[in-house]
Amino acid sequence: MILYCDTSALVKCYCREEGSHAVLELRRHAEATAISVVGHSEIHSAINRKRRDGGLSVRDAERILRDFDGDWESLVRVEITPDLNKIAARLLKTHPLRAFDALHLASALLLRTRMPQTDVSFSCFDEKQRLAAMRERLAVVPD
C-alpha cells in the first residue's frame, strides 16, 4: 500500500498533535509515502506558522524542518503536470475543494492510475477533502 498524505496528514509525523499516532502507524505499514511537490512548501509554511504563533520554539522548528528536509528524498513526490492539472480542474468543478486540496487529491488519483497493481490510501484531516476522496473511490485513512 502506498500512503498518500496531504500536508495536514504529513505534518503530524513531525509535530505531535491529534492524529499523529494514527498517521505514524499508517506510514510504518505502508510500502511508501507519497505527497505532491507542493507539500514541501506547505510543510515549511505550517512549521513556521507554528513557530510564529508560539507553538514551537525556534530550535524545535529548525530541527523539525531539518528532519523533514532529510526525509523529502525518500517520499514519492508527485509532480504537477498537465495531466494532474486536468484531474484537479475536474475535481474543483465536482467538489467544493480549495486549490491545493484538489492538487493533493488529484495526485493520489494519478498515482492510483499509474500504479494499478498497488493500493493507494489517502490521508488528510479536512472533512471536505475526505468526502471528495471517498466519492472518488479512494480508501481514506485514518477512519
With cut-offs at 50, 70 and 90, classify the pLDDT of residue 84: very high
| Angle between helices 99-114 and 38-52 in degrees, nearest 10 | 140
H or E element at residue 33 = strand 32-36
The domain tally of the chain equals: 1
Q: What is the end-to-end Cα distance of the chain in Å, rounded?
A: 16
Which residues constitute the domain of residue 67?
A: 2-141
Instruction: Give the pLDDT confidence of 46-69 residue by residue, as tens digits.
Output: 999 999 999 999 999 999 999 999
For residues 30-53, average pLDDT: 98
What backbone phi and psi angles, to 5 degrees, belong to 30? -80, 150
Alpha helices in the chain (DSSP H): 7-10, 20-29, 38-52, 58-72, 82-94, 99-114, 127-135
Report yes or no on whether pTM surpasses 0.85.
yes
Which domain CATH number covers 124?
3.40.50.1010
